[in-house]
Structure 1
C-alpha cells in the first residue's frame, strides 16, 4: 500500500486529489493538510509520497520541502503547481523534489504518476518541463548538456532515456535485461558524469540535450 499525503492551501484541491487517489486499491491517502499543519502530518503518518503545493500562504512549499528532506527517511516529494511557467520549479528540483505536475493533471494519469514516484521514478509534467528547459536553454547551456551526455556510455544513455520517461530502476532493469543492481550502478555513474545529485536533474539534462524526443510524464 502506497501511503500518500496531499498538501495544498485549498480544501477543494485536497479533497479532489484524495477522492481520485483513494479509488485505487494500492493507494491510501493517509492525510491532507495545508502548509501550516503539513510537517506535523508528515511526521505523524510517515507517508511514502507527498504531493506538495509549491505556492501557499503562511508556509510555502519550498520551505516545507527543505524541512521534509532533513528527515532520516524522507518521503518522495512531488511539487504541485497551477502555473505553466513557475520560477520556483527549478529551485524545488535542485533542492531534491522528485518531480512536478500541474493541478489539472488528467485524473487517469494521477494514479500512475503517484505509483511511479513510489517506485523511484520521476514525474515531469510536459508543459512544465518545456517551461523549465526554456528557463536555462541558452545555446551555451544546451551545448554543455550535449557534452555531458556524450560522456555516457551507450547503455548509460539508454538508462537515462528511461529515467527521463519516469521509469524506476526495476522497470529499467526489465527493459534492458540487466539486474536492478546494475541499473543502480549505472545510475550512480550517470549522476557523477553529469555532475548532478538527483534523477530529476539528470532527466532535465537529457531533455535539454535532445536525448529524448520530448517531455515525458
Structure 2
C-alpha cells in the first residue's frame, strides 16, 4: 500500500485529491494538512509520497520541502502547482523534489503518477518543463553547454535517459530493455556523472531540453 500525505492550503484541493486517490486499491491518503503542520504530520504518518503545494500563505512550500528532505528517512515529494510555468518549480526540483503535478491533472492520471513517484520514477510535464526553462535567465546558454554533455552519452545511456525522463524506475527500465537492475543502476550512475547532475529529476529535465523525448518513439508511458 502506498501511503500519501497531501499538503495544501485549500480544503477543496485536499479533499479532492483524497477522494480521487482513495479510490485506488493500492493507495491510501493517510493524512491531509496545511503547510505549517506538514513536517510534524509527515514525521507522525511516515508516508511514501508527499504531494506538497508550492505556494501557501502561511509557509513557503520550498521551506517545507527542505525540511522534509532533511528528515532521517525523507519521503518522495512532488510539488503541486496551479501554474505550468511557476518559477518556483525549478528551485524545487533542484532542492530534491521528484517532480511536480498541476492541480488540474486529470483524475484518471493521478493514481498512476503517484505510483510512478513511489516506484522511484520522476513526474514532469514536458510542456511545463519547457515553459519553466524558457522563462529562466541564461536558459539558452545552459542548453548549449548541456547539449554538449548529452553527446558524451553512449547510445544505450541515451536510451536509459529517455526512460528516466518518461518516469520509469530502474526496475521498469530493466524490464523494458531487458537489462538487470544492477546494469541499469550502473548506467544511471554513468549518466549522472557525464551530465554533471546529482539527481534523476535533473537528468530528466536535461533530456527534455535536449529534445531526446521528441526524437524517441513513444513507449506508452504518457502523462
Judge same fold: TM > 0.5, yes or no: yes
Q: Which residue of 1 aligns with 2:55?
A: 55
Contact 1:143/1:209 (CA < 8 Å) preserved in 2?
no
- The CA distance in 2 between the partners of 1:48 and 1:186, in whole Å, is 26
Q: What's the CA shift for 1:27? A: 0.2
- The CA distance in 1 between the partners of 2:18 and 2:104, in whole Å, is 14
Q: Deviations over 1:69-107 (max 9, x none)?
A: 011110000000011211100000000000011000000
Assess, with a 3 A threshold, how the Cα gap between structure 1 residues 90 and 138 changes in structure 2: closer, same or farther: closer
- The CA distance in 2 between the partners of 1:91 and 1:194, in whole Å, is 19
- The CA distance in 2 between the partners of 1:39 and 1:192, in whole Å, is 32
Q: Which residue of 1 aligns with 2:205?
A: 204
Q: Which residue of 1 aligns with 2:170?
A: 169
Unaligned segments of structure 2, at least 5 residues: 216-221
Contact 2:85/2:129 (CA < 8 Å) preserved in 1?
no
- The CA distance in 1 between the partners of 2:94 and 2:116, in whole Å, is 20
Unaligned segments of structure 1, at least 5 residues: none
- The CA distance in 1 between the partners of 2:187 and 2:131, in whole Å, is 28
Contact 2:130/2:209 (CA < 8 Å) preserved in 1?
no
- The CA distance in 1 between the partners of 2:52 and 2:81, in whole Å, is 9
Root-mean-square deviation (Å)? 1.3
Q: Which residue of 2 aligns with 1:69?
A: 69
Contact 1:101/1:128 (CA < 8 Å) preserved in 2?
no
Q: What's the CA shift for 1:128? A: 1.8
SS in 1 for 2:111: helix
Q: Which residue of 1 aligns with 2:94?
A: 94
- The CA distance in 2 between the partners of 1:89 and 1:46, in whole Å, is 24
